A and B are shown apart, each in its own frame.
Chain A
Amino acid sequence: MRFTKLSIILLVVVALIVPTTFAQVPESGEGLTIGFAQVGSESAWRTAFSEAVIAEAEERGINLLFSDGQQRQENQISAIRSFIAQGVDAIILAPVVETGWDEVLQEAADNEIPVVIVDRNVTADRSLWVTRVSSDFVHEGRLAAAWLAQATAGDCAIVELQGTVGSSAALDRQQGFNEVIALFDNMEIVLTQSGDFTRTGGKEVMESFLNTMDPAEICAVWAHNDDMLIGATQAMEEAGVDPGDDILTISVDAIPDIFLAMSEGKANATVELSPNMGGPAFDAVVAYLNGETLPDWVPVAGGIYFPDTAAEEYERRSGGE
């Protein structure tokens, strides 16, 4: 009895002595108030991203202040200012554009409020933000190529539907994919064009591929996003080619419609562009508040999905329609 009393006193003393910032935040982040400045709700993926962050906060007992910037930087800046005024413990920012954040991030720094960047990048000084949590596009490309290499035993003539020329998603996915197929002598990209990340673009480019080349010589189509692939499957069907069978398909994003296509046997696999960035972002906040140093970038990698789970994934992701 005396022993436990003593230990309690000791614990209290230790707790008083130890600086309050150290080891004070529970790992889950429970009890923290965090402001989240989101870009907006311009796409299904963005909406899923917001919902994932909100659900994660609820699960962890974090008090999340959510702001929808409606794709405007000035809305996001005023949201951050209001978070600062409310004295939040940390701010998570999904920036709509890369530039123009220095001033408002400096204000947050002056108030000693850490800022974690998620998704897109910012050009602001490195000292003004804690870390950046975002998808690893290169990894997505590698995973896509790795699946294709396995599915074809490393022997495949590939046509590529690139995203918008110069976009980081297109460049990095291409890089990751090409890294892996370079390991196999018989894997080669025979045709490549940009479909601008749209269905119409993917369909038009695939039509021209099927026109230029004997469809029987194409082993697989690799699209930088699902929308272009869906357009391409329509082009294939109209040309009398069976997508998913005559020509294999692999794409990135995991939007609901690709699961529908997979469940109908028109697509083979999709790599997820993970919208689950809330967890890693909250972890980063907690780690920072607990005095850990963080790397410049925390990559978030998505999994790869196949037709076997497509029907139920479609159900889940399209809101059970």
Chain B
Amino acid sequence: MSEMTQPAERGFSLQSLTRNRAFWPIFALLLILLGNRLIAPDFFNIEVVEGRIFGSLIVILIRGAPVVLLSIGMTLVIATKGIDLSVGAVIAISGAVAAVLVSTTDINPILAILISIGVGALCGLWNGILVAYFNIQPIVATLILMVSGRGIAQLITNGQIAIFNDETLAFVGTGVIAGIQFPIYICIAVFVIVMLLVRRTAIGLLIESVGANDRASYYAGIKAAQIKLFAYVASGICAALAGLILTADIKGADANNAGLWLELDAILAVVIGGTSLDGGRFFLGLSVIGALIIQSVETGILQSGLPPTFNLVVKAIVILIVLLLQSDVVRRWISNSVNRLRGQMRGQTA
């Protein structure tokens, strides 16, 4: 109310900016990057070593790639009012498939990569069928694969870290094109493809309508089950790509640890990006920003020189602040106190 009656002045543009959904996540990301710059003075430095661009900002993009990919898939799933807990396990499975294929068979590595992505899609299909056709609650349906998936990956790798020497597969994680590492290209490609799919076709709208009210959507003639299936398959494919990157990065498939707990980071990224867990409207770009926020915090902590015992606490506090910044209650409180302060200052100058 008070905001409405405020005179426009120069505050207006700032206010409309802060009311923009994109403002707070991007603001938080910039704030965290600045904080990192204060801790490590050469944080923004970027140099070229042996034809490859180096620097902390690039590290954030490379290391953040798996969660960025997961968050893109997760956004679609959450928009349908679902959730996908299995992506960490799918990472382990797809990595195991690719690593075992190239190390024990003579298969063309490109084919191995495609098979691995296909396995990710299959995992997504499994989740989607359970959710969409058997009406199992998403958290339960995907929990099944979350728990059993690592076991499946261990069966594939025989419980060992499956190492390989194939250069093509390794390229997925550490290859460089024009000075930039390959995972960054994968992220950009997936983001653009998904963005085109959901914003240039009807799929995005259908996903939002299914997430907002799947019964109403059904009666309106939308095949809600197929839309959900699409979201889970997309999430599975994103997880498989993340698994390929993580596996290729260390030239080995670690069934026990690859992607461990990353499903939680992905969900967090989506939430930071402002997509509601209740489904409906979703914001792909902001989920990616959310993923980059998480990675910036982690990279910052690694470079801060803090004792490792503080890692999790610092991460939790920073994320909490980011989420508080987005909370309507806190934001109203801040804007009220800013207004009050402004009113006082105006009173003084008058």
Q: Which residues of A line the B interface, CB within 8 A? A: 41-44, 47, 162, 165-166, 191-194, 196, 198-201, 203-205, 207-208, 211-212, 227, 230-231, 234, 238-240, 257
Q: Are B302 and A42 within 8 A (Cβ)? A: no
B116: Cβ under 8 A from any A Cβ: no
Q: Are A193 and B302 within 8 A (Cβ)? A: yes
Q: Are A205 and B254 within 8 A (Cβ)? A: no
- Extra contacts, 7 of them, besides A193-B308, A200-B258, A207-B59 (Cβ < 8 A), are A42-B256, A44-B159, A192-B308, A199-B161, A205-B302, A208-B302, A240-B49
Q: Mark B301-317, 1 if CB is under 8 A from A, else 0.
A: 01101011101000000
Q: Mark B168-188, 1 if CB is under 8 A from A, else 0.
A: 000000100000000000000
What are 16 A-B pairs at a CB distance below 8 A? A41-B159, A42-B159, A196-B257, A198-B254, A198-B257, A199-B254, A199-B257, A200-B249, A200-B254, A203-B250, A204-B63, A208-B302, A211-B55, A227-B161, A257-B161, A257-B163
Q: For the complex, what is the distance from the CA of A198 to the CA of B307, rounded to whole Å?
A: 18
Chain B, residue nearest A202 (CB) = B250
Which residues on B sit within 8 Å (CB–CB) of A162?
308
Chain B, residue nearest A206 (CB) = B302
B271 CB, min distance to chain A CBs, angstroms: 24
B9: Cβ under 8 A from any A Cβ: no
The A-contacting residues of B in range 3-55, CB under 8 angstroms, are: 40, 49-50, 52, 54-55
A231 CB, min distance to chain B CBs, angstroms: 6
With beta carbons under 8 angstroms apart, the residue of B54, B256, B258 that contacts A211 is B54
Q: Are A231 and B250 within 8 A (Cβ)? A: yes
B266: Cβ under 8 A from any A Cβ: no
Which residues on A sit within 8 Å (CB–CB) of B299?
208
With beta carbons under 8 angstroms apart, the residue of A166, A194, A211, A234 that contacts B250 is A234
Which residues on A sit within 8 Å (CB–CB) of B163?
257
The A-contacting residues of B in range 209-265, CB under 8 angstroms, are: 246, 249-252, 254, 256-258
A165-B308, A194-B308, A212-B303 are contacts. A239–B159 as well, Cβ < 8 Å? Answer: no
B160: Cβ under 8 A from any A Cβ: yes
Q: For the complex, what is the distance from the CA of A162 to the CA of B50, rounded to whole Å?
A: 29
Which residues on B sit within 8 Å (CB–CB) of A238?
52, 174
B326: Cβ under 8 A from any A Cβ: no
B56: Cβ under 8 A from any A Cβ: yes
A42-B159, A192-B308, A193-B308 are contacts. A208–B59 as well, Cβ < 8 Å? Answer: yes
Which residues on B sit within 8 Å (CB–CB) of A47?
159
Which residues on B sit within 8 Å (CB–CB) of A44?
159-160
Q: For the complex, what is the distance from the CA of A76 to the CA of B225, rounded to whole Å?
A: 44
Chain A, residue nearest B49 (CB) = A240
Q: For the complex, what is the distance from the CA of A238 to the CA of B55, rounded to whole Å?
A: 13
Leading 7 A-B pairs by shortest Cβ distance: A194-B308, A208-B302, A199-B250, A198-B257, A208-B303, A165-B308, A44-B160
Q: For the complex, what is the distance from the CA of A165 to the CA of B254, rounded to whole Å?
A: 20
Chain B, residue nearest A211 (CB) = B56
Q: For the complex, what is the distance from the CA of A129 to the CA of B311, rounded to whole Å?
A: 38
B297 CB, min distance to chain A CBs, angstroms: 13
Q: Are B40 and A212 within 8 A (Cβ)? A: yes
Name the residue in B52, B55, B256, B302 with the highest tally of chain A Cβ atoms < 10 Å from its Cβ: B302
Q: For the complex, what is the distance from the CA of A66 to the CA of B56, rounded to whole Å?
A: 51
Which residues on B sit within 8 Å (CB–CB) of A43?
159, 256
Name the residue in B50, B59, B249 with the highest tally of chain A Cβ atoms < 10 Å from its Cβ: B249
The A-contacting residues of B in range 248-301, CB under 8 angstroms, are: 249-252, 254, 256-258, 299
Q: Are A230 and B250 within 8 A (Cβ)? A: yes
Which residues on A sit within 8 Å (CB–CB) of B309?
165-166
Q: For the complex, what is the distance from the CA of A234 to the CA of B163, rounded to whole Å?
A: 13
B40 CB, min distance to chain A CBs, angstroms: 7
Q: For the complex, what is the distance from the CA of A43 to the CA of B252, rounded to whole Å?
A: 15
Q: For the complex, what is the distance from the CA of A187 to the CA of B258, rounded to whole Å?
A: 34
Which residues on A sit within 8 Å (CB–CB) of B250?
199-200, 203, 230-231, 234
Chain A, residue nearest B246 (CB) = A200
Which residues on A sit within 8 Å (CB–CB) of B56?
211
Chain A, residue nearest B308 (CB) = A194
Q: Mark B67-81, 1 if CB is under 8 A from A, else 0.
A: 000000000000000
A100 CB, min distance to chain B CBs, angstroms: 22
Which residues on A sit within 8 Å (CB–CB) of B302?
193, 204-205, 208
Which residues on A sit within 8 Å (CB–CB) of B50?
240
Which residues on A sit within 8 Å (CB–CB) of B159?
41-44, 47
Q: For the complex, what is the distance from the CA of A207 to the CA of B54, rounded to whole Å?
A: 10
A190 CB, min distance to chain B CBs, angstroms: 10
Q: For the complex, what is the distance from the CA of A294 to the CA of B251, rounded to whole Å?
A: 46
Which residues on A sit within 8 Å (CB–CB) of B160?
44
Q: Are A165 and B257 within 8 A (Cβ)? A: no
Q: For the complex, what is the distance from the CA of A43 to the CA of B154, rounded to whole Å?
A: 10
Q: For the complex, what is the distance from the CA of A26 to the CA of B198, rounded to whole Å?
A: 76
B93 CB, min distance to chain A CBs, angstroms: 16
Chain B, residue nearest A237 (CB) = B174
B327 CB, min distance to chain A CBs, angstroms: 30
Name the residue in A44, A196, A204, A211 with the highest tally of chain B Cβ atoms < 10 Å from its Cβ: A211
Which residues on B sit within 8 Å (CB–CB) of A239?
49, 54
Q: For the complex, what is the distance from the CA of A193 to the CA of B303, rounded to whole Å?
A: 9
Which residues on B sit within 8 Å (CB–CB) of A203?
249-250
